[in-house]
Amino acid sequence: MTTATLPPDLDAELSALLGAEGWRTDAATRQAHGSDDSRRHAMPAGVALPRDRDQVAAIVRACRRHRVPLVARGAGTGTAAAAVPFGGGIVVSFARMNRILQLRPDDRCAVVEPGVVNGDLQQALQPLGLFWPPDPSSFETCTIGGNLACNAGGPRAVKYGATRDNVLGLVAVTGRGELVRCGGPRTKDATGYDLTHLIVGSEGTLALIVEATLRLQPLYRDAASATAA
């Protein structure tokens, strides 16, 4: 289904929900949110920039009611066109949900919103002697939500695994606009189906991630390298 224009009722509902800063239908904003690093482009009919999880859930419920497709977007550094709205409809950008909610050094975990940039989290963790292992080379711009949705990984994946191995729990919005919480900060939060690891890597097709609890590691105190010839 391609939705180049929006039902007027949906336009009015999202405008009332998100305000002028959070609901954009001008051509420049739509153009800028129509592509990622794949260099492919499709024009969305509108761009939603929610501030919190309740707004995300309300957007999903409204789009579902009007049968308008939506595509999640982090920083748009993906190279596979997964954030490109080929069906038209709405792009949901997590750029304004970029708060680090908790740093818990004693529990070696952090709770973040999906729009936090990977590099910003690493900077916040450094004074605590901690880091989050996923290190895609786009770390200065890509978001934690995008890392989770793509199961991103960099060189450190050899030792620590990719993103899936470094997440303890999620809060996500389903296609029905319902909030689900899975996993949690304790390793023993192991009851029930493992939805956390199912959602990680699903590229926004199963749910929209609105909060993540991340497993942290201690920074190396001493590092040395040797070359043998």
Ligand X SMILES: Cc1cc2nc3c(=O)[nH]c(=O)nc-3n(C[C@H](O)[C@H](O)[C@H](O)COP(=O)(O)OP(=O)(O)OC[C@H]3O[C@@H](n4cnc5c(N)ncnc54)[C@H](O)[C@@H]3O)c2cc1C
Binding span for ligand X by CB under 6 A among 6-14, 16-24, 60-68, 139-147: 139-147
**What is the DSSP pairing of strand 90-93 with strand 46-48?**
parallel
Q: 99-105 long-range contacts, Cβ below 8 Å, gap at least 24?
A: 100/124, 101/211, 103/128, 104/185, 105/129, 105/130, 105/216
What DSSP character marks residue 169? Answer: E
Closest CA to 96 of 39, 51, 150, 141: 51
The footprint of ligand X on residues 158-197 (CB under 6 A) is none
Candidate list 90, 109, 110, 152; residue touching ligand X; CB under 6 A: 152
Candidate list 79, 123, 126, 187; residue touching ligand X; CB under 6 A: 79
Q: Is residue 77 a contact point for ligand X (CB under 6 A)? A: yes
Candidate list 22, 50, 136, 169; residue touching ligand X; CB under 6 A: 136
Binding span for ligand X by CB under 6 A among 14-22, 43-51, 65-73, 219-227: 65-73
> Smallest distance from the beta carbon of 12 to ligand X, in angstroms?
25
CB within 8 Å of 128: residues ≥ 6 apart: 103, 105
Q: Is residue 147 a contact point for ligand X (CB under 6 A)? A: yes
List the beta strands (DSSP E) in 4-129: 23-24, 46-48, 70-73, 90-93, 100-104, 109-112
Inter-axis angle of helices 53-66 and 8-22, nearest 10? 160
Q: Is residue 154 a contact point for ligand X (CB under 6 A)? A: yes
Q: Is residue 82 a contact point for ligand X (CB under 6 A)? A: yes
Which tokens belong to 16?
Answer: 């009332």
Q: Is residue 11 a contact point for ligand X (CB under 6 A)? A: no
Binding span for ligand X by CB under 6 A among 1-9, 60-68, 181-189, 202-210: 202-210
| Binding-site ranges for ligand X (CB under 6 A) | 36-37, 71-79, 82-83, 94, 114, 136-138, 142-143, 145-147, 149-150, 152-154, 203-204, 208-209
